[in-house]
Chain A
């Protein structure tokens, strides 16, 4: 019984690991292949099955003049837009969420829960519905094809996530903690900064993670709202595709583009394993 349990446990762990890791390995080997090794039948092992070369990677950093597709600028554009939009969304979202959790708002039949739902409802609409209004809006304020315009749009998309997660989190932080801070001589701003916020770090991390993921992987709005001046990574990667599909550089760019998310995941995992997410508030 016990041995069977251990066997099954490791069996499923191995199966799952293969399931998760195999695509990465596949992409990694493909990125070192050339036309011949991709199209000339199935090959797996470098140096044995095929001769690896760095052409797929070189294309990514060569300038277009030399026949490459420079993804370095779009890469940093993407990083900048995602981080800025996430940061602003988290700050604004946390403040709104705190207000929604602690104060009572009322405008006719509209109450706190309705306002929270209004935020979430922004995510219920399919993106295509929003694309035309966003396009017209950005063009009217001359921000089409600019980083600032993208940041504005991403804040609209990411802030609901932050509000949604943080409202739920603040609702679980006992009100009495704020009240005790007030009694102990904090004004409401100090109570928020010195007591509520330090106890909300787990929530902030979760919200931040979601914002970064959703911001980083967005293709649709980056595609619609930019043309030539500014390009983001997902759009550039898709643009790699030409008459001959360059599997090698596509694989390389895919690996490069998931790298930041993997780094974020590792940091959060370290934090999680320290037990910092549990037991902060009973």
Chain B
């Protein structure tokens, strides 16, 4: 049972929320929609759920026109980024709600709700009020409510974004377990996120969305290794990929008075307006390196993010340890230039170290 969309467009104001979005989702697969905030992820999920009607385009599910079926008959499930539950019902009643709506036998409801509670690790909480639960627990309740229905399409809209770091890690792990437990055999799982790491970890088929437009579709690894444009490279990396305006001539990459020997996959690109892309993790501190000035140093977890500047070029370097720097300190860095990407002036990928295009 495939979910097929053709040229979905939605433009409620003067901006496109969806712009000619097409896809073909197959059952038993996990699809990750990666995009920044306001890129149209939620709009897309709501359109699939039937909460929004697109201005143009079609959605077909199982060969039937999905747009003609009202939300309440579509058999989809959705988890929101806010923890949405029914505040007037307790945990058990919340999870049982969709089943009661289908007029299923009481004893079967009980069994299914208990199963769902067990799979999200909330056994023993069934008589609690929703308000008494922590954010993470509330989100588990809404996940359980979406699981209990055995919906053919399961939509998860940034389900982890409002949780604190530790819970996020833990729930992400549980998600992966749930997804791999065969839950997904007949289900189309659609997971939206802004977090590239989450995308890579879930390791499904990725749809990169920006300003309502699909930029690239492919397996997570492919998106990571061969982003087809500058935009995708920025969206699919956190911190965003460093973009350096450079010129390549005589086998040298030249920018801000620095000459770096071009690796083989870049050496033939001599055009004007070339942009070199380098991940923040592919730059390292090195005594013999090139001098940059510290603009900002932030410590995030066990990592230090250095915002550096030289002339008009600004880059971010991530270092896998906690280091203290002051603003205007001088640091010396080295580029792992064989990991560099090159993009044409129009933003299209010119060459990637993993063999994309001119490889």
Which chain A residues have a beta carbon within 8 Å of chain B's beta carbons?
Answer: 174, 176-177, 179-187, 190, 195, 198-199, 279-282
CB–CB B87/A180 < 8 A: no
Task: Give 11 A-B pairs besides A177-B86, A186-B101 with Cβ atoms closer than 8 angstroms.
Answer: A174-B84, A177-B87, A179-B71, A180-B84, A182-B51, A183-B72, A183-B78, A185-B72, A187-B72, A198-B88, A280-B87
CB A111 to nearest CB in B, in angstroms, measures: 14
Give Cα A187–Cα B101 distance, bound, in whole angstroms. Answer: 10
Query: Is B28 part of the binding interface, using a Cβ–Cβ cutoff of 8 Å?
Result: no
CB–CB A199/B51 < 8 A: no
A-B contact pairs, 29 of them (CB 8 A): A174-B82, A176-B80, A177-B84, A177-B86, A180-B84, A180-B86, A180-B142, A181-B86, A182-B51, A182-B71, A183-B51, A183-B71, A183-B74, A183-B77, A183-B78, A184-B97, A184-B98, A184-B145, A185-B98, A185-B101, A187-B70, A190-B101, A195-B88, A199-B86, A199-B87, A199-B88, A280-B87, A280-B88, A281-B87
* Interchain CB contact (< 8 A) of B102 among A182, A185, A279: A185
List 4 A-B pairs, minimum CB-CB distance, nearest first: A185-B101, A184-B98, A198-B88, A182-B71
List the A side residues contacting B77 at CB < 8 Å.
Answer: 183
Give Cα A281–Cα B76 distance, bound, in whole angstroms. Answer: 25
CB A271 to nearest CB in B, in angstroms, measures: 15
Give Cα A190–Cα B98 distance, bound, in whole angstroms. Answer: 12
List the A side residues contacting B87 at CB < 8 Å.
Answer: 177, 199, 280-282
CB B266 to nearest CB in A, in angstroms, measures: 48
List the B side residues contacting A198 at CB < 8 Å.
Answer: 88
Give Cα A183–Cα B77 distance, bound, in whole angstroms. Answer: 6
Query: Is B131 part of the binding interface, using a Cβ–Cβ cutoff of 8 Å?
Result: yes
Tally of B interface residues using CB under 8 Å: 27
Closest to B142 in A: A180
* Interchain CB contact (< 8 A) of A184 among B80, B82, B101, B131: B101
CB A47 to nearest CB in B, in angstroms, measures: 54
Give Cα A180–Cα B157 distance, bound, in whole angstroms. Answer: 13
CB B90 to nearest CB in A, in angstroms, measures: 13
Query: Is B149 part of the binding interface, using a Cβ–Cβ cutoff of 8 Å?
Result: yes
Give Cα A181–Cα B46 distance, bound, in whole angstroms. Answer: 14
CB A195 to nearest CB in B, in angstroms, measures: 6
Query: Is B315 part of the binding interface, using a Cβ–Cβ cutoff of 8 Å?
Result: no
Query: Is B49 part of the binding interface, using a Cβ–Cβ cutoff of 8 Å?
Result: yes
CB A280 to nearest CB in B, in angstroms, measures: 5
List the A side residues contacting B101 at CB < 8 Å.
Answer: 184-186, 190
CB–CB B72/A279 < 8 A: no
CB B203 to nearest CB in A, in angstroms, measures: 27
CB A229 to nearest CB in B, in angstroms, measures: 45
CB–CB A176/B88 < 8 A: no
CB–CB B88/A180 < 8 A: no
CB–CB B82/A183 < 8 A: no
Given A186-B72, A186-B101, CB of A279 within 8 Å of CB of B131 = yes
List the A side residues contacting B82 at CB < 8 Å.
Answer: 174, 176
- Name which of A182, A187, A195, A198 has the most chain B CB atoms within 10 A of its CB: A182
Give Cα A83–Cα B331 distance, bound, in whole angstroms. Answer: 78
CB A106 to nearest CB in B, in angstroms, measures: 13
List the A side residues contacting B70 at CB < 8 Å.
Answer: 187
CB–CB B76/A183 < 8 A: yes
Give Cα A182–Cα B71 distance, bound, in whole angstroms. Answer: 6
Closest to A188 in B: B72
Closest to B131 in A: A279
